[in-house]
């Protein structure tokens, strides 16, 4: 009876989907929008607020690079704090009321250095400029305005040691020496280093804990990496931990964990179908506020009435858009609110809760007219071995969903997922007349432990089948023109692109591989040094090349390029630390050795994906010409 109900519900969902699509096609077809409108830098983004609530900050272009600006609340005059021209600032935060810290790498190598600058634009100082060293932020130490805790792989490139850093002088003190297996550190609400997460025997994870910094860390919980207790922050008495956990269960739930007894003392919230991904809290009120999870959209379960009323009020004011709290001041009276949807990058707002006043700060990309964008709708289908696969389908605006050219866009990770929201790539392709299929194939996160584990050692096998089955589903529905289907992806999505061209050589009319893996043997040999402690875990998840030699030979596209029939376009950053340039070189060489011309774009000042605006324009311009040539939208 339950199965019949599920089938009936799936039929109803499908009927509603196509009814909505049919109504959608009655709308006017969208005009062709300049490529640059999709991929140029935002006009203003990444808004934040000072701890004292007196200033707002944001990032905006300066000489085509994203830099940091600050202005006093109520004033229209902004001060530009930074003047980087080589590469966008990677991220920033307020260290105290008068100083901002930001991260920047060199040419995409992801060896981020930490800089500080005063809010008048003076006293800029690089705090961690060490060659081939990557900086992590462990704790911004909100109650210690002159200090932060950072992680550096300065002593040993494979692991990160925690340091307490003086943000004015640059002086730093090592807080613990990483023995070689610790992958993460956590502080309590007083900024004391109390928790460490380590790898034991390569594949077991261990939670280490101490009651105070003068003590040695002691192990309190050891599990196989397939099970996880992920501590998020301490309880407000600094004795227990708020965490997400999938111990002895399939889905991650929100819990309180007691290190003294190594046990979960309370389940705060759980969902039958989806993993709980995070818990938020009020520092001022010492209250957890919400647990979040992603179904086809982000959803929240509220723990307290104050936060629920805040969101209810903002939703009433801002209408149909999804929203999030991007930042708030220390008093928790002034907020930066961000809106978004599938058709809009949204806007930032300033909300003064004491005055109950909501003020629009800026649209992120005001040149994008959401009425010309396509709707992104959730879909699901059955894989050939019976798994439910979720995803998203975007139909070009004003076009009947029938016999369309399609771009299949597998996500990277692969242990990540596609989510609902504005994606400039998707909207660009839809504007050019392509339907776009995004697939959360097995291994995609958020759907539980079993779905994740189903991807282990399945690169190019059942993971690839899930993508292929989605394409066949589109053809069966009459949406896709079987002769005009392309596949395009980045990172693991680039690998899935190449493998799709190998194992289903007649299914795709073209492929675009963007910083993708092409050879599983060489990929595992060229990982960044700080991934090496995780290598045994990667062998469990991807496979051990010595044990799976025959399988790797069959699932490495560069070793099977003779099977590729479709035209191929490859793009790569020369400084990519995750997917070495040799991965792209190999597949291009293998194709050219067969006398097959491959379009190959290499950017010498980029890494894992193109971040500089002019490079993005070059890539998408070339991809547009390539797809139009081979798919004739």
Give all domains of the chain, ordered by start, each with its CATH number: 375-631 (3.40.50.1820)
pLDDT for 353:
96
pLDDT for 510:
97
63, with CB counted inside 10 A (0-12, 13-18, 19+), is exposed
Spatial contact of 92 and 68, defined as CB atoms under 8 Å apart: yes
Q: Retrieve residue 388's tokens.
A: 């439910």
Tell me the pLDDT tens digit for each residue of 407-432: 999 999 999 999 999 999 999 999 99
Tell me: pLDDT of 279 over 50: yes
Strand 204-209, strand 193-200: pairing: antiparallel
Tell me: pLDDT of 4 over 60: no
Q: Retrieve residue 364's tokens.
A: 């992120």
Q: Retrieve residue 475's tokens.
A: 């053809």
Tell me: pLDDT of 367 over 80: yes
> Which of 13-22, 182-191, 253-262 shows the lowest per-residue confidence on average (mean pLDDT)?
13-22
Q: Determine what percent of the chain is predicted with pLDDT higher than 90.
A: 93
At 550, which helix (H) or strand (E)? Answer: helix 549-555
Average pLDDT over residues 437-455: 98
pLDDT for 15:
46
Neighbours of 22 (CB within 10 A): 11
pLDDT for 382:
98
φ/ψ (deg, to 5) at 291: -115, 140
Helix (H/G/I), strand (E/B), else coil: 254: strand
- Helix, strand, coil tally for the chain in percent (to 5): 25, 35, 40
pLDDT for 6:
44
How would you list the strands of the sheet with 147-152, edge to edge? 135-139, 147-152, 161-166, 172-174
Angstrom distance (rounded) from CA 133 to CA 146: 23
pLDDT for 626:
97
pLDDT for 184:
96
Average pLDDT over residues 241-251: 97
Tell me: pLDDT of 25 over 50: no
At 403, which helix (H) or strand (E)? Answer: none
pLDDT for 546:
96
Predicted model pTM: 0.92
Spatial contact of 395 and 457, defined as CB atoms under 8 Å apart: no
Token look-up 């992603």 returns: 294
Average pLDDT over residues 210-219: 95
Tell me: pLDDT of 471 over 80: yes
Tell me: pLDDT of 8 over 70: no
pLDDT for 30:
78
pLDDT for 314:
97
């Amino acid at each position: 009876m339950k199965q019949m109900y599920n089938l009936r519900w799936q039929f109803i969902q499908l009927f509603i989907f196509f009814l909505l699509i049919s109504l959608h096609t009655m709308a006017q077809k969208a005009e062709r929008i300049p490529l640059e409108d999709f991929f140029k830098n935002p006009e203003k983004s990444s808004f934040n607020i000072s701890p004292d609530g007196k200033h707002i900050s944001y990032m905006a272009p300066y000489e085509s690079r994203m830099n940091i600006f600050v202005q006093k609340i109520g004033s229209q005059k902004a001060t530009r704090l930074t003047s980087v021209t080589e590469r966008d600032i990677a991220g920033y935060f307020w260290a105290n009321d008068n100083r901002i810290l930001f991260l920047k790498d060199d040419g995409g190598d992801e060896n981020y250095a930490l800089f500080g600058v005063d809010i008048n634009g003076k006293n800029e100082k690089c705090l961690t400029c060490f060659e081939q060293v990557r900086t992590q932020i462990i704790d911004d130490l909100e109650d210690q305005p002159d200090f932060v805790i950072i992680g550096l792989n300065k002593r040993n490139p494979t692991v990160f040691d925690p340091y307490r850093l003086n943000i004015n002088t640059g002086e730093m003190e090592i807080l613990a020496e990483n023995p070689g297996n610790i992958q993460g550190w956590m502080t309590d609400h007083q900024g004391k280093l109390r928790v460490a997460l380590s790898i034991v025997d390569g594949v077991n994870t261990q939670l280490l804990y101490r009651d105070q910094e003068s003590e040695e860390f002691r192990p309190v919980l050891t599990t196989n990496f397939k099970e996880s207790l992920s501590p998020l922050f301490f309880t407000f008495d600094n004795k227990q931990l708020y965490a997400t956990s999938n111990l002895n269960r399939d889905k991650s739930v929100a819990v309180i964990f007691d290190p003294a007894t190594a046990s979960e003392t309370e389940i705060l919230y759980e969902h039958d179908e989806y993993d709980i991904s995070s818990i938020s809290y009020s520092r001022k009120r010492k209250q957890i506020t919400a647990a979040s999870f992603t179904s086809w959209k982000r959803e929240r379960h509220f723990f307290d009435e104050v936060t629920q009323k805040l969101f209810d009020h903002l939703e009433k004011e801002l209408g149909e858009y999804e929203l999030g709290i991007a930042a708030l001041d220390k008093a928790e009276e002034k907020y930066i609110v961000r809106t978004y949807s599938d058709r809009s990058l949204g806007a930032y707002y300033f909300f003064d809760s004491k005055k109950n006043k909501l003020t629009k700060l800026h649209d992120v990309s005001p040149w994008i007219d959401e009425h010309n964008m396509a709707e992104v709708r959730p879909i699901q289908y059955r894989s050939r071995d019976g798994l439910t696969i979720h995803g998203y389908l975007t139909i070009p605006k004003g076009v009947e969903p029938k016999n369309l050219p399609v771009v299949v866009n597998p996500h990277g990770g692969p242990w990540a997922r596609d989510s609902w929201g504005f994606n400039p790539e998707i909207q660009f392709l839809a504007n050019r007349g392509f339907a776009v299929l995004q697939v959360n194939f097995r291994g995609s996160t958020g759907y539980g432990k079993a779905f994740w584990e189903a991807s282990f050692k399945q690169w190019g096998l059942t993971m690839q089948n899930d993508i292929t089955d989605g394409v066949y589903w589109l053809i069966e529905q009459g949406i896709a023109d079987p002769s005009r289907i392309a596949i395009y992806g980045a990172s693991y999505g680039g690998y899935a692109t190449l493998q799709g061209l190998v194992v289903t050589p007649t299914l795709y009319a073209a492929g675009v591989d963007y910083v993708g893996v092409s050879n599983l043997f060489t990929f595992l040999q060229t990982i960044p040094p700080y991934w090496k402690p995780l290598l045994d875990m990667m062998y469990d998840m991807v496979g051990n090349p010595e044990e799976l030699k025959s399988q790797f030979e069959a699932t490495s596209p560069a070793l099977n390029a003779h099977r590729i029939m479709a035209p191929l376009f490859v793009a790569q950053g020369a400084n990519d630390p995750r997917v070495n340039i040799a991965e792209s070189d190999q597949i291009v060489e293998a194709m050219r050795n067969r006398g097959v011309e491959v379009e190959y774009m290499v950017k010498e000042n980029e890494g894992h994906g193109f971040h500089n605006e002019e490079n993005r324009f070059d890539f998408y311009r070339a991809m547009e010409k390539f797809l139009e040539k081979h798919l004739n939208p």
